[in-house]
Amino acid sequence: MPALATLRLEIEEHRGTVNAGDPKHLRLVVVDSAPALFELPCGDHACKDGGHDLTEAVLANLLAGSTRFEVEDPCQGSIGTAYCGCAMRLVGTATYR
């Protein structure tokens, strides 16, 4: 992303309408040295084989030149024999040169 100047990611995980883990997290990405991989683990410690790969959605928005975008991703893991059900919501804010 040669034109990308800054990238700010607000991350929140929830189950239904209830926040499943910690409050919203904020991550400032150091653009000049950041890898183009946005994978995050599931916030539920009981979840097995879950997580969130937001790479494709984030890169698509950055390639489109979006200055603000939202991504919602359901966890594909499981808790015991049940589907995990956590979802991650990411709000990205980008500036370009």
Instruction: Assign 68 a pLDDT band (cuts: 50, 70, 90).
Output: very high
Q: Is the pLDDT of residue 95 over 70?
A: yes
Q: What's the total number of domains in the chain?
A: 1
Question: What pLDDT is recorded for position 26?
Answer: 60
Provide the residue range defining the domain that includes 26.
Answer: 4-96
CB 9 within 8 A of CB 94: no
What does DSSP say about strands 82-83 and 52-53: parallel, antiparallel, or unpaired?
unpaired
Cα torsion for 97, 11, 38, 84, to the nearest 10°?
-160
pLDDT greater at residue 27 or residue 56: 56
Model's pTM, two decimal places? 0.78
CB 47 within 8 A of CB 8: no
CA dihedral sign of residues 52, 55, 57, 62: positive
